[in-house]
Amino acid sequence: MSDLWTMYPHFGELYAGGTLICRFNPDDSRSRGLYVTSNGVEGWDTMPDAKVELTERGQGDGAHDVPESDLIYSARTVTVHYEAIGLSRGELLSIMRKINRLAHRNARLRFSDGGEDTYVDGYLAQMGRSSAWHPTLENDLTLHFVCPRPERLSWTPHRCQLKPTSDGRGGLFYGGARAGLVYPLTYGRQATDSRNVGTLLNNGSSRAYPVFTVYGGVRQRCHPAILRRFLDTVDGFCWRNASGVGLPAGHRDDGRP
């Protein structure tokens, strides 16, 4: 097998609805399954096309400068070149048909390569194959995966949990009628430990958008307008009351457009 990927501990996976659909380069078998060929994966380590409109200078050479806020990118398209191997024609077809389960579904494509374990979300746009027939081998297969959001995200999210001070007090005081901040401002007692401070590092090359999950009766302690203004500044927000079961808060990190 002329598959360079099988020489290293690299693998890929396709998910739909949180369920593993198939795995490229399975570690439980070398004689059956789906394998990335030596043609590799296109569009994974490259930059998508930029969506930048230049305005030519009326006087002078070139175009006007482009601010960083306007440097945005198109959707990412990933093309996987792979082969399927089975011990019989029936098993071969069964292995190949696994990817068909992604039809009409949002999916997630993951690749672990060289210490980087990242994924993209998108959908299966096209599958290609050769017309040549072989009973146990199909070695000219392609998969086109379109990602509306081009960022590659870390498979392992970065998380931290913030807790209030042990005495339950602290923060700004808005007054009994919640009419606004009461001057002079008081920031409460100094925290007895650092549990209410957390740092999340973005190890990627693109902007990160944290998702905040708030537990407890924050609405009873924070002015609605202030809370709404805070939520408008974050990309994702999840509310869990004191009696509810909270899910871990993930966030977009390690983005690589």
- Report the mean per-residue pLDDT for the chain: 76
Give the whole-number percent of the chain exceeding pLDDT 70: 65
What per-residue string of b and e applies to 97-118 under the rule 16 or more CB within 10 Å gives b?
ebbebbeeeebbbbbbbeebeb
What per-residue confidence (pLDDT) applies to 56? 94
Can you give the pLDDT at residue 134? 86
Residue 115 has pLDDT above 90, yes or no: no
In this structure, what DSSP letter does residue 102 have?
G
Average pLDDT of the residues in 232-242: 49
Q: Is the pLDDT reported for residue 93 higher than 60?
A: yes
Q: Which two tokens stand for residue 247?
A: 């899910």
* Of the listed ranges 17-21, 153-157, 194-198, the one predicted with least confidence: 194-198
Return the CA Rg of the chain: 25
pLDDT computed for residue 244 by the predictor: 34
Q: Residue 107 pLDDT > 90, yes or no?
A: yes
Kindly compute the dihedral angle of the four CA atoms of residues 232, 237, 240, 245, in this order, to the nearest 10 degrees. 180
Distance CA 164, CA 171 (A): 10
Percent of the chain with pLDDT over 90: 32
Q: Given a cut of 70, is residue 123 above it in pLDDT?
A: yes
Between 219 and 64, the more confident residue is 64
The confidence score (pLDDT) of residue 141 equals 92
The overall longest dimension of the chain from CA atoms, in Å, is 82
Which SS3 state, helix, strand or coil, does residue 218 take? helix
Determine how β-strand 137-147 pairs with β-strand 76-85. Answer: antiparallel
pTM: 0.70
